[in-house]
Structure 1
């Protein structure tokens, strides 16, 4: 056994918190819900609210400092995903898309390009609306990720 599996949720604007709690309950995992402000959570001993300062990237920094092998990080924030992947954590977007060592460079480059285009005044549109298909894909991806970590000796 190499240590417990923990889940860190970048909670501001995360649309899959309830799904995360359901999967974590089934697997008996601890969930840290990290945000810049108070948010209501289910009253379960394995769900822990972490309210960080409202400083720039305070929630990201809190999560990145704890991300390691055996951790699962839920975020749509590409720079945070990059930091966590480099630390050895498993990282999932709320759509179920995994961030990986091989793909994080492209994801960062795309994010930076889109940000530069928006700053230059280009109309790039926003992300597509979150769908039931995204929610379903996320549930499956989180479950598969946890099972893979358990097979690797975490738990």
Structure 2
């Protein structure tokens, strides 16, 4: 098992939680991004830098994921592909994506994208709260113990 991170949009506070968890549990962690990221000096933590482009990082993650791996992403289509491969998927807000509910989330995402494309102002996600950070850390710990 290893942890994969869709790192281009992963908040720094979540990356820090991931770094500590990887070290504590001795779990390999790979940050996938299209730009260099500051990483702690650790043999367990590495970056896979991919070229810029639409879904390049997502495609690389899906190609390398194995069943039982953990993926950290807020990208719902990527989460759906990872679940199909048998990975466990967690958002930076601590929400665990599940096979039984991912289709509904994809439908809602597509609906909201259509609304935005038609000019409706939907607003962005709320700032990451301390409760979100705690929920993420707790859920990650549970996944790493399984």
TM-score normalised to the size of structure 1?
Answer: 0.90
2:32 pairs, out of 34, 39, 49, with 34
2:7 pairs, out of 11, 15, 20, with 11
Q: 1:136 — aligned with what?
A: 134
Q: 1:125 — aligned with what?
A: 123
Partner Cα distance (1:35, 1:132) in 2? 25
Query: Which has the higher relative contact order, 1 or 2, with Cα contacts under 8 A spaced 6 or more apart?
Result: 1
TM superposition shift of 1:22: 0.9
Q: 1:151 — aligned with what?
A: none
TM superposition shift of 1:56: 1.2
TM-score normalised to the size of structure 2?
Answer: 0.96
Partner Cα distance (1:113, 1:92) in 2? 22
Root-mean-square deviation (CA, aligned residues, Å) is 0.8
Partner Cα distance (2:87, 2:5) in 1? 13
Q: 1:84 — aligned with what?
A: 82
2:35–2:49 contact (8 Å) kept in structure 1? yes
Q: 2:108 — aligned with what?
A: 110
Q: 1:54 — aligned with what?
A: 52
2:22–2:45 contact (8 Å) kept in structure 1? no
TM superposition shift of 1:66: 1.6
2:96 pairs, out of 89, 95, 98, with 98
TM superposition shift of 1:68: 2.3
TM superposition shift of 1:129: 1.1
What runs of 5+ residues in structure 2 fail to find an aligned partner?
none
- Matched residue SS, 1:9: strand
Partner Cα distance (1:43, 1:57) in 2? 28
Give 4+ residue runs of structure 1 displaced > 4 Å after superposition: none
TM superposition shift of 1:114: 0.5
Partner Cα distance (2:78, 2:9) in 1? 15
